[in-house]
Amino acid sequence: MSLSSKTEKWVQHHLITAKQRKQILSFEQKNSNRTFWRTAFIIAALLIGLGICLLVAANWAALPNSVKLIGNFTLLGSFSYAVFFFSVHKKEGWKELFTVLACLMVGATFGLNGQIFQLQGSWHSLALAWALFCIPFVLHSRASFLNIGWWLLLLNAMPPKWWSEIFSYAEKNLDSLVICTLLGLILLHYVAKRLDQSIRHSVLLPSAMGTVALWLAYGAVVFIGIRWGLVHWHNTPGKMWGGWCVVFLFLAVRMAWAVYEKNIGSFKRNAFLVEMYIFAIFASRFGNLWTSGLGFIIGGMSILLLIYLLKKTTSYIKKMEVFQ
C-alpha cells in the first residue's frame, strides 16, 4: 500500500488531520526527491569520469607528457574547487557529483605519474595511496555509495604478504579463523553503529564501515553454513550441528536486534534467510530427490510453505506490536 493510501486511511480513522497528511506527504516527497537527485548526480559523475578516461585513452600516444600532467592537475584542481564552491552554496547534488569526479581523478593522478615517471609499485600500493588522499573528499561526502566504495578500496590496500600469511594460517586453522573473523566483524559493526549515532550529521564513514563489516559477516556465516552444515558428508555430526548452530544463532540475534530497533524490514529479511537455510538443509539431505519430477514438485511445495510461514511470522509479529 502506498503512503498516500495509508495516510488517507489514517485521516478516515481520525488518526491524523488532513493538514497533517499533506505535511507528511510533502516531507516524504522532498526526501525521496533528494535521494533520487543525489543518485542521479552520482551516476552522471561516473559516466563523465569514464568518458574523460576513454577520451584521453583514445589520444594517449599523441599527447606529450607535459600536456598530460598539466591537464590532469588542472582537472583535479577544478574538481576540488567545485566541491568547495558547491558546498559553500549548499548545492548537495552538484557537490556529490564533483566529489566523485575528484576521487576518480586522485586515482588517475597516481596512475598517470606512475606511468610517466616509471614508478614501481603494485595495485595494493596504489589502492592505499588512493584511499589516503581521498579521505578529505570522503569525509565531506554525504553519499553512502562513495563512503562504502572508499572502505572497499581500503580493504584492497592490504599487502599481498599479509594475505599470503593469512591463507597460510587458514590452511591449518580455517575453522577457528573463520569464527574469530565473524566475531571481529560483528564487534566492528556494533562499534561503527555506535560511533555513527554520534557523528552521522557530519561524517558517514562509520556507517559505511558498519555496512561493509555486516556484509562480510553475512559472507562468513554463509561460508560456515556451507562448509559445516550443508556439505555434511565431509564433516562429523558435531561439526554439522555446530554449523547449523552458528548460522541460526547469528540470524536469531539479528532478528532480536531488529525487534529492539523496531526495524521490521531487517526482521523480515533475516526471517527469510532462516527459512531459506532450512530449505537448503532439506535439499542437501535429500539431494537425490532433485533427479526426479517428484523431487521438483516437493521442492516447489517447500518454497511455497516457506513463503506461507514467512507471511504468518510477519503477521504474528505485527500483531504483537513490537515494531510500533
CB atoms within 10 A of CB 49: 21
Question: Could you read off the pLDDT tens digit of each residue along the chain, which spans 324 residues?
Answer: 456 667 777 777 777 777 777 777 666 665 555 566 667 777 777 788 777 777 666 666 777 888 888 888 898 899 899 999 988 888 888 888 889 889 988 888 888 787 777 777 777 888 888 899 999 999 888 888 888 889 888 888 777 666 666 666 665 677 777 788 888 888 998 898 888 888 877 788 888 899 999 998 998 888 888 888 776 555 567 778 888 888 999 998 998 888 787 777 788 788 888 878 887 877 776 665 556 666 667 767 777 777 777 777 767 666 665 555
Q: Is 158 left (phi over 0), alpha (psi -120 to 50) or beta?
A: beta
> Cα–Cα distance between 244 and 234 in angstroms, integer?
15
* 3-class SS string, 142-153: CCHHHHHHHHHH
Q: What is the largest CA-CA distance in the chain?
A: 73
220-255 in b/e form (b: 16+ CB < 10 A) is bbeebbebbbbebeebeeeebebbbebbbebbeebb
Residue type, 55: L
Q: Where are the alpha helices (DSSP H) in the chain?
A: 3-12, 18-58, 65-88, 92-116, 123-133, 135-140, 144-155, 160-199, 205-224, 237-260, 264-285, 293-320
Residue 143 half-sphere exposure toward CB, CA atoms < 13 A: 26
DSSP 223-258: HHIIIIIISGGGS-HHHHHHHHHHHHHHHHHHHHHH
Which among 106, 104, 100 has a CA at the least distance from the CA of 40? 100
Task: Report the b/e string of 87-100 with b at 16+ CB within 10 A.
Answer: eeeeeebbbbbbbb
Q: How many whole angstroms separate alpha carbon 184 and alpha carbon 187? A: 5
